[in-house]
Structure 1
Amino acid sequence: MNSEALVAAKPQEAVPESQSKRLMNNRTFLWIYLGSTLSIMGEGFHSIVVGFWVLSTTGSAKAMMTIMVVQMITSFLLGSVAGTIADRYNRRMIMLGMDIVRGILMVGVAAVVSFGEGQGWWMLIVLLALVGAASQFHNPAFSSSLINIVGKEQIQRATSLMQITDTLARLAGLSLGGAAVAIFGGPTSVIVVSIAFFISAGCVLLSGSFPNPIQQDREKKGFWADLKHGLSYIRGHSIARSVSILLPSIMVFFVASMMVFQVLAVTIWKATPWQFGMLEAIIPIGYATGAGLIAFMGSRITKRGIWVSIAMLLAGPNLMLLSSINDVYFAIPFVFLVGFILSVGTIIVMVMLRTEVDGEYQGRVFGTIGSLSSLATPFGIILSGVFSDLYGADLVLMMNGAGLTLIAAVCIYFLKTLRKYN
């Protein structure tokens, strides 16, 4: 049976009555929500601590770049594999195990920061690659579990709420990480990250068992056969295939533009440190506002494919307008729109995936999209960084906006299932 027929033949999964409870009365969701928030905060916290230690002890940008490249390669190679494992085994136990593993690995990072001196950065390559690998296994297990925890009626609100909190938690982690390094030093700060991962594991443990997706395909397969079957499913499922094309394509330009925007703020707008910090905060504020709007409107949002299309088509022109501005304060509303537009598009797309993709395949779908995005994003950042030095950040941001507009238009035109989704 081909993939299209397989998708068509599968009935919609039944949602247990307990999953329809309001989010604030859903004990499992609340514990997972708390654990995820701590985990995200820990990731932001440790990126600041580790980055500061590497650069201050080695003075080498190449050392930092090496760590980033190794993490990127690890994420790319493991995405689909991790997603397949999330679909084959108990997702709650995967999340629990990966939180514990990350907590232990961060103790190792603290030891390197304490005793590694200037040559210890290479040890971080191995440790942080393993931390990234553990996160790569944790993320699809978490993403594919949410629909079974909250049910279809609450998935849009749950996704929006988690995106708001994740954005704020990441900001808090970055801010607290810088303050902690200044006050307590690197080793103590890394131990705080380790504790955050262990507490996240405790939250998963306290959440109780997760509802499991209904396994429609009873035939036993080997791991690699399951991996190939999952990729075949993505090719055959119009929504999964469309999002797998759209998101990595968009993120190449969008994330790269965030780096160029920072250069523009300093070199063209001559932003002071206070103004630079303000501009950095406005993007997540815009993102949280968009997520809040999606959560507030809930089921009142119809023609969601049109919402995604409009958001993607507005993103490029907004960046192009931003590239032509010469004043920090005049740029504020356009910077706000960067985060707002991104949240409206991506959150609705995530809801589409969690609603339409069969539960037993969601791990492989989220893992594959994460793998493709992890490769596309650094590629865009590197190219934008090189061309910004050569031709100026304003011109590169203009070109990124034009490229994003073109890619969005092409994707929306050809991905009809996505555009017409209700």
Structure 2
Amino acid sequence: MNNTGKPFKKFLLLWGGEFISAIGSGLTSFGLGVYVFQQTGRASAMALVTLLAFLPSLLLAPIAGVFADRYDRRLLMVIGDSFSVIGLVFILLCMLFGKTQLWQICVGVTISSIFTSLLEPAYKATITDLLTAEEYTRASGLAQIASNAKYLISPALAGFLLSISDIKLLIILDICTFFVTVTSTLVVRKGLISKKAESAMSFKKELKDGWITVSKNRGVLVLVITTSVMTFFMGFIQTLAMPMALAFTTSAMVGTLQTVVAMGMLVTSIVVGIIPIKKGYVKILSLALFLEGVFMAGFGFRENILLMSITGFLFFAMMPLANSSLDYLVRTNMDNAVQGRAWALIGVISQLGFVAAYAVSGVLADYVFTPLLVEEGPLANSIGKIIGIGSGRGTGLLIIIAGLLLSIAAVILYQLKSVKNLEKRGDLCTTK
């Protein structure tokens, strides 16, 4: 029984490296968001950068998943971390030699995203390598703190740094964090057996096996597809929260706001890490998603920092509950041998909603909803009297609508029998 302590300590070391890396990524993400919005004044420009920072990593995830099952998972993490710096260096050099154009930022974030694609499936599969089924939800809660440190710490820190310097400092700090991440990953790698390439099986066959692993379980497939619908709605607040806030306040205040609301995720993640969820996964998942939608609607309701802080805090507080439940339901219904490629495909399918949201949210906000709620706009004397008018109110209305639709989708999810059956099979797995 004492053997379980050492693997978890190794997980904590790996977790620490990812935590530092996420803070650095968050600094760059926040800084670029503010920089692009200040240069263009368009939510659609911010959404484009967000899309290009996300899409390559998502599309390459299935290939990265096969790599995670074929080769040394820790070595893949080192390669991904190291080479993702290339994109950041490109943006930094462009800024040092003149005013950076939007296309240059797009190229840089795309390059970085391509190499970052190696990280996620290898990291998730490594958790399974290290831990037992009983430790999954605890590890998931802690992993969410690390992966979301860009929301917890980075915004306020970035806002402060931008008040005394500029975005170049943020990018330099992000570049430096890779040394910590690579070192922690190499230390963990020492104690684990490296996987060797399986030349007997073709690359195409491994991708197909990953799809079969996901699709043969109807409950997993339905859950993942339903999740993609929900990520579509959540993608609106992720893309539009910053431009909505920047329409009436400063970047420093926006940074503080983002950190305050993300504290909700920290609080719940700590609770889940200490007191793991042990039953009622489907119910917790559905309820958490339903409340996320309600709080999203509240976030967009008014240009009021206090209201946005409270509803944003509660929105983030629901995320660890939803993510931990989803993680358990999927992880306990798949074989470990194919988890790398399976997680990669799950990531692609479930996060296609984010891609769609990033692609349309900025355009809808700038060219459809914003004109509706400016002074003398078509909805200024109706909905405008309730939620207010101004350059950011159309964006707020779009967030409200997306939140309400998310709540409706959560109710539908709870009614699906194939998803409820996953919990029964998962319980059998953990009691073996």
- Give the TM interval when normalised to the shorter protein: 0.7 to 0.9
Give 2:120's aligned amino acid.
N
Are 1:308 and 2:317 counterparts? no
Which residues of 2 match residues 1-16 of structure 1 at below 5 A? none
Residue in 2 that maps onto 1:9: none
Secondary structure at 1:118's aligned position in 2? Answer: coil
* Change beyond 3 A, Cα 1:41–1:418: farther
The answer for unaligned runs of 5 or more in structure 2 is 373-393, 428-432
Equivalent of 1:295, from 273, 298, 305? 273
Equivalent of 2:107, from 101, 123, 126? 126
Q: What is the CA–CA distance in structure 2 between the aligned matches of 1:79 and 1:148, rounded to whole Å?
A: 19
Residue in 1 that maps onto 2:15: 33
Residue in 1 that maps onto 2:315: 338
Residue in 2 that maps onto 1:21: 5
Are 1:369 and 2:346 counterparts? yes
Deviation readout 1:271-325 (Å, 9 max, x if unpaired) = 78887556433431221222222223226x3122221122223333444456667
Residue in 2 that maps onto 1:97: 79
Are 1:77 and 2:59 counterparts? yes
Residue in 1 that maps onto 2:376: none
Deviation readout 1:232-256 (Å, 9 max, x if unpaired) = 2111124532342132211111231
Please, which moves more after superposition, 273-282 or 251-260?
273-282
Q: What is the CA–CA distance in structure 2 between the aligned matches of 1:105 and 1:369, rounded to whole Å?
A: 26
Return the TM-score normalized by structure 1.
0.80
Deviation readout 1:70-119 (Å, 9 max, x if unpaired) = 3344134212122122122111110011112123443333322212x236
Deviation readout 1:178-222 (Å, 9 max, x if unpaired) = 44455454444423221101221111112234646999xx99320
Give 1:154's aligned amino acid.
E
Shift of 1:371: 2.4
Are 1:225 and 2:205 counterparts? yes
Are 1:350 and 2:332 counterparts? no
* Change beyond 3 A, Cα 1:245–1:114: same
Residue in 2 that maps onto 1:203: 184
Give 1:351's aligned amino acid.
Y
Q: What is the CA–CA distance in structure 2 between the aligned matches of 1:263 and 1:376, rounded to whole Å?
A: 20
Return the TM-score normalized by structure 2.
0.78
Deviation readout 1:117-139 (Å, 9 max, x if unpaired) = 23665444333212101111111
Equivalent of 2:369, from 376, 380, 388? 388
Give 2:5's aligned amino acid.
K
Residue in 2 that maps onto 1:155: 136
Residue in 2 that maps onto 1:414: 416
* Change beyond 3 A, Cα 1:152–1:22: farther
Identity %: 20
Residue in 1 that maps onto 2:261: 283
Q: What is the CA–CA distance in structure 1 between the aligned matches of 2:10 and 2:229, rounded to whole Å?
A: 34
Deviation readout 1:355-407 (Å, 9 max, x if unpaired) = 33222222223222332355321422533525431443454344223311222
Q: What is the CA–CA distance in structure 2 between the aligned matches of 1:266 and 1:48, rounded to whole Å?
A: 12
Deviation readout 1:17-37 (Å, 9 max, x if unpaired) = 6762277xx442132111101
Are 1:146 and 2:146 counterparts? no
Partners of 1:35 and 1:200 within 8 A in 2: yes
Partners of 1:260 and 1:388 within 8 A in 2: no
Q: What is the CA–CA distance in structure 2 between the aligned matches of 1:72 and 1:109, rounded to whole Å?
A: 17
What do you get for the CA RMSD once the two structures are aligned?
Answer: 3.5
Task: Say how many residue pairs are matched.
Answer: 398
Deviation readout 1:7-56 (Å, 9 max, x if unpaired) = xxxxxxxxxx6762277xx4421321111011111111222344455566
Please, which moves more after superposition, 145-154 or 389-398?
389-398
Partners of 2:294 and 2:404 within 8 A in 1: yes
Q: What is the CA–CA distance in structure 2 between the aligned matches of 1:105 and 1:398, rounded to whole Å?
A: 35
